[in-house]
Amino acid sequence: MELTPRKERILSSVVAGYVKSGEPVGSKAVAEEVGVSSATVRNEMADLIELGLLEQPHTSAGRVPSQRGYREYVDRLMEVPELSEEERRTFDSMLLSGSYDPERLLLRASRLLSGVTRCAAVATTPSGDTAQVRAVQFVQTSRRTAMLILMSSTGTMKNRVFHCDFDLTSDILRVFFRVFNGKVAGKNVADITPAFLQSVGVSLGQMYVLVGAPLRALLEVAKDTMGTEVLLSGQMNLLFYPELEHGGARRVMDFLERREDVAAILRQRPGQVTILIGRELGRPELDKTSLAVSRYQVNGQDAGALAVLGPVRMDYPRVTAVLQYVSAQVSQMLTVLMRDE
């Protein structure tokens, strides 16, 4: 059976109506929007049910989209709206407020996405798998302690406080700065291993007595940089969707706490918003949800993900428009931040 233009309009009308109300959509409401009789709409809806694109929850109820129907709508029928100039300015203001470091920028992006979409939002920090060391900085925190800060080419800044058995001075910190940047600046973070640091220590001779503690801190910070942080916002929004009642929202939130599983599901194709619907997510606890993912870039290289997780009846056009814009702005801001350092 062919999916005619009229059937496409009726399917789009049912999707839009169900997303808005959460209630099955009747033929009368669709007829008014499409401009045909209710009888015609009922006949076309029957065909759409036969095609597997609509479902009828109860005998006398209206219709709701099936997961296959949502897939057809997302792939072929939906029109992504343009954001208004006012919305763009508001989003930019929210992203730029506060400290301008990568992790806080990504946290602000996830909070923006959850607030605008009324869903849960996720952001992942840039992976350190291919990152290089841009610089190592030292900040004294007390008489015998200091903070080592590793800045990577992907925009992350990780730190660790270390303790020395001697009093620190500005001259000693300058020695640390010269030694560490001379040895590791420009190297891959993945190359900062115990064996590498042991060789650095040997090459320093008697100076190793001074740099043992910061070398150990550098190893710990390198491990942190290699990992991917998962930043969550708006999980409580899921409690307000009836389809996620009876423990459904709780199961979804439990899944979001499993950071490695979340990071794995966000590894989608870069360059576009990818939408996974219901069972396509491959997780039973997520069968009644959909996920929209956009990969952001730093210096033109794939770096991490921004995503929105909500009910299957999420507003896909709106979510796509917001996610596209926020992802593009995050990519631009992180790239500028890297160039200015």
d(CA 105, CA 210): 36
pLDDT at 116: 97
d(CA 268, CA 38): 42
pLDDT at 99: 64
d(CA 161, CA 146): 6
pLDDT at 90: 96
d(CA 164, CA 140): 11
pLDDT at 340: 57
Structural contact between residues 229 and 103, judged by C-beta atoms closer than 8 angstroms: yes
Structural contact between residues 83 and 326, judged by C-beta atoms closer than 8 angstroms: no
Q: 119: which 2 tokens?
A: 């869903």
Q: 153: which 2 tokens?
A: 């080419």
273 contacts: CB under 8 Å, gap ≥ 6:
292, 293, 294, 320, 323, 324, 327
pLDDT at 227: 79
Considering Cα of 255, then 278, then 113, then 299, what sign does the dihedral take?
positive
Give the max Cα distance, the chain: 91
DSSP lists the bridge partners of residue 295 as: 305
Considering Cα of 15, then 268, then 115, then 83, what sign does the dihedral take?
negative
CA distances from 38 to 8, 51, 208 (A): 16, 20, 84
**Helix, strand counts (H, E) of the chain:** 12, 10
pLDDT at 205: 85
Residues in the chain with pLDDT values less than 70: 59-60, 98-100, 338-341
Q: 55: which 2 tokens?
A: 């479902």
pLDDT at 61: 75
